Structure formats: C-alpha cells, structure tokens
Amino acid sequence: MNDPREGTLLEDRYTVRRRIARGGSATVYEGLDERLDRPVALKIMHPHLADDSSFVRRAQREAKSAARLQHPNVVSVLDQGHTREGELYLVLEYVAGPTLREVIAREAPLSARRTLDLLVPVLRGLAQAHRIGLIHRDVKPENVLLTEDGQVKVADFGLMRAVDEHTASATVLGTVGYAAPELVGDGPVDQRSDVYAVGIMAYEMLTGSRPYTGTALQVVSAHVSRDVPAPSGVVPGVPPALDEFVLRATARDASRRPVDAAALLDLALAIRRSLPAPQDPPSLDTALTQPLSALDGDAARAGTAGEAPTEAFGATTPRGDETATEAFDARNRLRREPGPGPGGNGAPGGEAATEALGTTDRATPDGADPDATRVVGTQRGGRPTSPILPNHDPEATGTTTAVGARAGRQSGSSALRSPEIPRVRLNPRLPPLHVAVAVILFALLLTVAGFLGWWLGSAPGSASATVPAVAGQDAASAERALNAAGISNVGVRSTTSRDAPEGTVISTDPAASASVRGIEQVNLLVSEGPARVDVPTFTGFSADAARSAVTDAGLAVGTVTSTYSTQAVDSVVSQSPAAGASVDEGTAVDLTVAADSPQGDPPNVVGQSEDGARSTLESKGYTVEVSAPVGSHLHRVVSQREEGDTVFLTVL
C-alpha cells in the first residue's frame, strides 16, 4: 500500500521518498534535502501526539538537546520542523546499511571479538551522550545501525524522554526485552538504564536470543524478579570475562552496575585486549609446510627400504594410493642414517640425503649415491622446472637454492655446514634487530607499569577520602564541601522531587560516609523541584475510584465534601483544580461528591422572592412549604424555619 506522504515536500526543503519503518511514536522515511542535495532520514511523529501541546514542547526541547550530541558513533539530528498538519518531524543523518538486528539474525551466535567490536562503538556513542546529560532509554538492536563501510552508529536520540513522559506504557511494552527493572518499576531512571540494555544486547549477540521470552507481562516480571543468566550457559565457550560483563551490566540493583556507558566501555576495552590476537593470514613459510601432493615412487621405495630421507612436499607425480596426509606422516618419520663420511657423495658428515619433491621415477646414474641430494625442480629428462621455494641468501636463512641442480650438486650452502642444520629452514631465526626492538618494548612496558603503580599508589588524588553529608545543600556548596574533603572528581545528575526544593542536593553516589579514592567520581543527585502534572478529569468517578486516580496521577487527595445532587450517590460532581490545569506534582485536589439528602443547614432566603427562595432550597434537597396570609401581594419571604428536611416560609 502506498503511503500518502511519499513524494510530498516538507517546508519547501525535504522531499519524502519512501517509508523505512513505523514505530509506536513515529514513522521514519528516507528523504532528500533539496537545498543541500543529500539523503536524510525524516522521522515524523504520529498525528495523535501533535494534539498534545505539552508533549510537542517537551519533544522540541529533547530534540534540541540531542542536536548537541555530535559523535561519529551517533546518528546526528540535523533539523526539526512541522508538517502542514502540525505534526513534529526530525531530520536525521541517513545511514544506508543494516541494523544490528539484521547482523544478529545473520551471524548469531557472534564470537567474543565480533561482539566487542560492535559493542565498543555503541558504548562510545552512549558515553558521549551520558557526559552531556542525555539518556537514550530505548537502546536495542533496531536502534544500532551499520554504515556500508562498517561504522557503527546509535540512532533515535531525541524525543525518547518526551515520549516516555507522554505514554510510558507504549515505550516500555515496545522495548520490554531490553527494559531495565527501574523502567518498569518505581526506581529512578538514569544512565544505568542504558547500561542494562547494552548488557541484554550483548547476551543476545553471544547466544542468538534474549534471556527472557513470552508475553510482555511475563518478560517484565522476569526482568524485575530474576537475574540474567550467564551466556556461557547457553553457548559453551563464551569467555568468563564476557559472562562477567553481561552479569555486571544487567544487575537488577542499579547501584551494582557500571555507573554509565563510559565505565562499561572501559570494561569492554579491557576484555577485548585480553582476547587472543586474531589469526593472521598464512605466511609463505607456513604455506610451504602444507602438504601439496602425495609422495612420488622414490619416496615410497625409500620408506620400504629402511631409508629415512627427508621428504618435502609438492611432488609432481603423486601415487594414487598415497594422500597428502601420508606425505605429512612420512615427514614426521624422518630419521638420520650415517653416510659415507666427510666428502662423500652429497651428505657430509653422515647427514642423510634430502629428497626434494618435483622429481619423478628416474633411474639413478651409474655410480651415483642413491642417498645423494635431489634438488627441487627436476623432472623426467632432467629439465628444470619452477622451484617451490624462492632463492634466498644462504648466509641469512641457510636454505638451498633450487635452480635445476642435478643429484649431488648443491647451490647456495656451505659444504662445511654442521649436519645438525637442515638444508631447508622454513622458520628462520629472528634477526638481531628484531630482538633489540623486543627488548626495548619490554623495557618501555616496565616503565609504564612502574609509573601506573606510582600514580595509583602515591600520586595526588589517590589518597582515600570520606564522602561528607551534603544532602539539603545547594549544588555549588555541596561541590565545595566534596573538594574540601579531598574529592575532586564530582559529577552532577538531576531528577524531579516533591520534597527537595529545586537546586538542592537529594543524595550522593556513593552515599555519605562512604570511603573513596580522591580520583573516584562522586555524583550529586540534585532536585529539579516537583514535576509538572496535567490534572485529569475525576468527575463522574465514584469517591473511592477518584481517590485512587488522584494518587496515580502523582497528585494528593485534598478535602472531600458532600452536596445534594441528583447524580448517583457518592459520585464526584466537581473538583478543584479543574481538569486540564497544569500543577506541581503532589498538589492537593479537592473533591465534591453527591448525596441524596440535604447537607448542612439550609441557606437563609429571607428577603428573596418566593420563587427564588423555593428554587434555592429545593436545589439543596429541601422540601419547601409556603404560608401566605390573606392579602399578601409582595411575594417576599419574611421568615423561615426548618423541621428536618422541610423548610417553612412565610410570604407577604
């Protein structure tokens, strides 16, 4: 089905091309910036969200905050605007590549190194966001994009907090598989909620599935009540360090997780450094040791005759019943036999003959030693072929030069060489320069290790300090108190609070009296004051239901009074503040409920007209009896008295 937005132009600049995805709060399109002629992503909010002016204001503030987040591992927010219908839209950097969800579906379970190679850039982007006070709140594989050249970017910053405040249930249920316990409970939400989501992603990358499946309610319950298991329980072979990474990131108690993405990034980098180095492609030397073909007939005969020549690989005339594996076994059966002595044919000092492949079954010349060296590259007729090994400097590597030598002729080696040195050395010793470099690097590492030991043990800021009690102070005073106590690394986070005045410290992390090193960060949790709440409608509710609704809305129940009404008994007939008013969280709401009998004393109606007095009293639930003496013509009430629910009026 065609989307009616496709092909439209937003604010004379952005052409909507095609729909990419649709979520709970917005639809994402591929677009074109006509002014700069570049592809962009257009995220257009759903129409029902545009009707909420408070949501739109919050969303605009969040988008401006997200636009400040400039990092190579974050999808950039480029612009924002409104459609002709008034719907908010964001202009984002366009990433033409797969999501992490597609990578997991294609590759899972991922190796430890592949997992960390993808998670490290995610954590770099989140760490930058956390530094400037942004929390993503919706970290999941669908929001991790890969460019065509493999760069990793985190998407969907901006609007996350605004959407959460507008409809928390939609956000939580949409990402329930990655939601931290505090997102679905009553705990405060901070950077550690993003850390939890990254831990769940790591589990999924290592195992191919999330730790909990089922209905949304079942998954939410599992996140709140159960610990995430170790990935190695599902996929044996996951390194213990990655098990620990997942378990720390997904701790149910937020205080046991790394404090933010930067701390988790440090852990990920340390684990990646500890992994075995990736295997390099085979070198020429290692390639030459691989079996290339079976042994030739001479080699087989040598084995049966009790000879043990060194058998190299690559014969051009393989026997049908001998495989490359047999050739390898033959090489391992090498043994040296005494030769005729120094100066003998080909093998000095009792060195066994070396048989190089590339020869064929050819008669040995008369008088030649059958154990003489046959050099790589000869075939039937004695014509030279291409050598298996290249020419080498004999003084550097000790190898022989295979250039069509006949049996017993050796080129590029010394006739006085020790018989313990093989004629072909595939793994030459390191030259002295390499050894010197290794020694220098080792010395540098020792120097760095010594410096770090000094820094951690006796450098400024390494001494222990006790966190002072600063709750109730303003942020500036609290920071000065921490500095005076020897704590120089102070962070500030903010949250709403009903009880603490705006700008005052609610608590510290670590808590007061805790012992920390001077270089460790102590975070101040500062109050933003009470949150603002839009008062819902409570009229028509029963008194009990209205009390619960008031509390659920973050408000307090004020006075509850009764008044006579024709509505259902005990239902709310009025409220104060009125529905739709914007008030501080915790504001008291007064309720008036219906009663079927007069409440309190009747109002004084003396002096009113007869009709007005009757209307006033009957609206309060009273029965009215009128007494008018003969000749009355003013129709004014001159006196009143009540008996129970009846009021007697005297009218003149």
- Residues 185-192 have a mean pLDDT of 80
- Catalytic (active site) residue 138: yes
At 644 the pLDDT is 80
CATH of 100-274, one of 1.10.510.10, 3.40.50.1220, 1.10.579.10, 3.30.70.20: 1.10.510.10
Delimiting residues of CATH 3.30.10.20 domain(s) in the chain:
464-527, 532-595
What kind of fold does domain 9-93 have according to CATH?
Phosphorylase Kinase; domain 1 (3.30.200)
At 632 the pLDDT is 66
d(CA 523, CA 509): 5
Nearest of 586, 592, 596 to residue 538 by alpha carbon = 592
Pairing of strands 354-355, 310-311: parallel
Task: Give the type of residue at 395.
Answer: E
Nearest of 219, 250, 244 to residue 232 by alpha carbon = 244
User: Torsions phi, psi of 573, nearest 5?
Assistant: -105, -20
At 64 the pLDDT is 78
User: Torsions phi, psi of 475, nearest 5?
Assistant: -60, -40
- Three-state DSSP state, 316: coil
List beta partners, residue 557: 589
Of the pLDDT bands very low, low, confident and very high (cuts 50, 70, 90), residue 401 is very low
Q: Which residue has the tokens 């690559």?
A: 314
Q: Which CATH number is 464-527 given?
A: 3.30.10.20
Question: Of the ranges 127-141, 170-184, 287-301, which is most confident?
Answer: 127-141
Taking a C-beta distance cutoff of 8 angstroms, is the pair 230, 243 a contact? yes
Question: Quick one: CA dihedral 104, 105, 106, 110, positive or negative?
Answer: positive
At 367 the pLDDT is 42
Q: Dihedral of the CA atoms 88, 94, 100, 106 (nearest 10)?
A: 130
Lowest mean per-residue pLDDT among 173-187, 412-426, 545-559: 412-426
Question: 109 to each of 62, 211, 377, how far by Cα in Å?
Answer: 36, 13, 48
Delimiting residues of CATH 3.30.200.20 domain(s) in the chain:
9-93
Of the pLDDT bands very low, low, confident and very high (cuts 50, 70, 90), residue 585 is confident
At 624 the pLDDT is 87
The answer, yes or no, to whether residue 289 has pLDDT greater than 60, is: no
Catalytic pick among 51, 138, 156, 509: 138
- Residue 37 gets the label, from left (phi > 0), alpha (psi -120 to 50) or beta, of left
Lowest mean per-residue pLDDT among 395-404, 447-456, 558-567: 395-404
Q: pLDDT above 70 covers what percent of the chain? A: 69
Of the pLDDT bands very low, low, confident and very high (cuts 50, 70, 90), residue 569 is confident
- Residues 444-464 have a mean pLDDT of 67
- CATH class held by domain 532-595: alpha beta
Of the pLDDT bands very low, low, confident and very high (cuts 50, 70, 90), residue 600 is confident
At 421 the pLDDT is 44
Per-residue pLDDT of 17-60, as tens digits, reads 999 887 767 889 999 999 999 999 999 888 777 777 767 777 77
Q: What is the per-residue burial (b if ≥16 Cβ within 10 Å, else e) of 621-641?
A: bbebeeeeeeeeeeebbeebe
Taking a C-beta distance cutoff of 8 angstroms, is the pair 512, 523 a contact? no
Instruction: Provide DSSP, 509-559.
Output: ESPTT-EEETTS-EEEEEE--SPEEE----TTSBHHHHHHHHHHTT-EEEE
Q: Which two tokens stand for residue 196?
A: 């939890």
Delimiting residues of CATH 1.10.510.10 domain(s) in the chain:
100-274
